[in-house]
Amino acid sequence: MALRNICVIGDEVLRKKAREVTVFDDRLSELIDDMIETMSFENRGIGLAAPQVGILRRVFVVDVGDEHGLLEFVNPEIVSSEGKVMSSEGCLSVPERGGTVERPEKLIIKAQNRKGESFELEAEGLLAICICHEYDHLEGVLFVDKLVEVEETT
């Protein structure tokens, strides 16, 4: 495993749409392991998407510290969502900025794991919020694009 560099706002890789994963090989596993290490140990984040480490593939990892633990999503699809909550967010790719965005309260997501096996997950609360935030990264969208309120965190 290795730590990867986090791309920050201004880097155009963060603005591109990530491509579907079609090959479930050791390289994919290595990417996911590196992302987990980069997220948890280096930066203490709760989520990280592949474009944030410069890889335009539809992969993200999430660990909000709840009973679901660490989750890996490959080729995710948000099947349905409901409700609305205001969410105060930050992002490893947008250093020293925070703000409030609107997110769904609950969602159902379908994805594959690193082996290509499909699964479905129902998420709510912080996990649902985090999944939406990371999913947006795959579409080239950052939370600062959706702000309803700006906060200074410095």
Chain-centre distance for alpha carbon 55: 13
How many of the chain's residues bind Ni ion (CB under 5 A)? Answer: 1
The answer to whether residues 153 and 98 touch, using CB atoms and an 8 Å cutoff, is yes
Question: What token pair was written down for 40?
Answer: 């948890």
Q: Is 134 a catalytic site residue?
A: yes
Catalytic residue among 105, 134, 149, 151: 134
91 contacts Ni ion (rule: CB under 5 A): yes
| Least distance between Ni ion and beta carbon 50 (Å) | 12
The answer to whether residues 4 and 34 touch, using CB atoms and an 8 Å cutoff, is yes
Total count of residues recorded for the chain: 154
Per-residue binding string, Ni ion, 24-43, x by CB under 5 A, is: --------------------
In single-letter form, the type of residue at position 146 comes to K
| Least distance between Ni ion and beta carbon 115 (Å) | 26
Contacts with Ni ion, residue ranges (CB under 5 A):
91
Instruction: Just list the catalytic residues.
Output: 134
